Amino acid sequence: MSLVRMLVETEAPAADLAQPVDAFAGVRRFALGLLIPLALALAWEAAVRAGLTDGRLVPPPSRIYETFVGLAASGELPRHAAATILRVALGFGLGVAAGTLAGAVAGYWALARVLMDPTLQALRAIPSIAWVPLFILWLGIFEESKIALIAVGVFFPVYLGVMGAILAVDRKLVEVGRVFRLGGPAMIRRILLPAVLPAYVVALRSGLGLGWMFVVAAEFMGASEGLGYLLIDGQQLGKPAQIVAAIIAFAVIGKATDWILTAATTPFLRWQDAFGQAETP
């Protein structure tokens, strides 16, 4: 057991006794989160039906729903969504692996940080669209260039999150590890890793969000399938309902993957007695 976890778990029983488990907290949060989008959708539907607007450029929810049903019935929506999800998954995996390694090295080793960080910070300032012609030239117009672009988008938030979390570790915890004569690997496993994990999860979520943003730019690179392709197809054919449907699909699938990531990492953070855990509505 890590030293950090030992210190935190000494307070865990009291916190658990003070806060009863609410079995419906997740359902209630989900319902509350739907209030704003549902209210906006109902208001726009009412405005179109009342004749306040024709809904041509911004279609009402009923028309968007019909578009969803048509795309799903034809098999286009599952096919395009699967292609986009696969690209994001591959790019996210590569970006997380590279960002975690680079961030850990730069955070733990001062010389590596001095050598690497200025260059990586300069590269981080380059707009995503600027990488497109270079990746097409290097990797071609097929899947490799798209996955590479997504990986670039994921890399930087993960790198910054890991490096910043390591640099922010409480010096007293490190001193405790030295008192116990922990070597480098033991120091990382018992002190740094537990202390870094909460910020690392946030970095992963940020990287995943940017991965979904970068996949749109990636699918503008001559893709023949994907939700980004649906956006372009809707623009070229003058189908605003299809454009909005693709945007909503991005939002729903992106939120679903974020929820999956959060659920998968929650068991590793149960030792936390954080402020946010006591503020569940």
pLDDT in tens, 75-116: 999 999 999 999 999 999 999 999 999 999 998 889 999 999
Amino acid 1: pLDDT:
45
Map out the domains of the chain as residue ranges. Answer: 26-55, 60-278
Amino acid 17: pLDDT:
42
Q: Which of 58-62, 93-97, 138-142, 221-225 has the lowest mean pLDDT?
A: 221-225
For the chain, percent of residues with pLDDT exceeding 70? 85
Instruction: Label residue 25 by pLDDT band (50, 70, 90).
Output: low
Rounded mean pLDDT, 167-175: 78
Amino acid 23: pLDDT:
53
Amino acid 4: pLDDT:
45
Instruction: Label residue 8 by pLDDT band (50, 70, 90).
Output: very low
pLDDT beyond 90 at 168: no
Most confident of 4-18, 168-182, 256-270: 256-270
Amino acid 268: pLDDT:
79
Rounded mean pLDDT, 209-215: 92
Instruction: Label residue 3 by pLDDT band (50, 70, 90).
Output: very low
Q: Please give the CATH superfamily to which domain 60-278 belongs.
A: MetI-like (1.10.3720.10)
Task: For residue 93, give Cα distances in angstroms to 137, 197, 211, 231.
Answer: 23, 18, 10, 25
pLDDT beyond 70 at 275: no
Amino acid 242: pLDDT:
92
Amino acid 211: pLDDT:
93
> What is this structure's pTM?
0.82
pLDDT beyond 50 at 12: no
Amino acid 16: pLDDT:
43
Rounded mean pLDDT, 65-71: 91
Q: Which of 20-29, 75-84, 106-115, 166-175 has the lowest mean pLDDT?
A: 20-29
Rounded Cα distance between 68 and 93, Å, is: 29
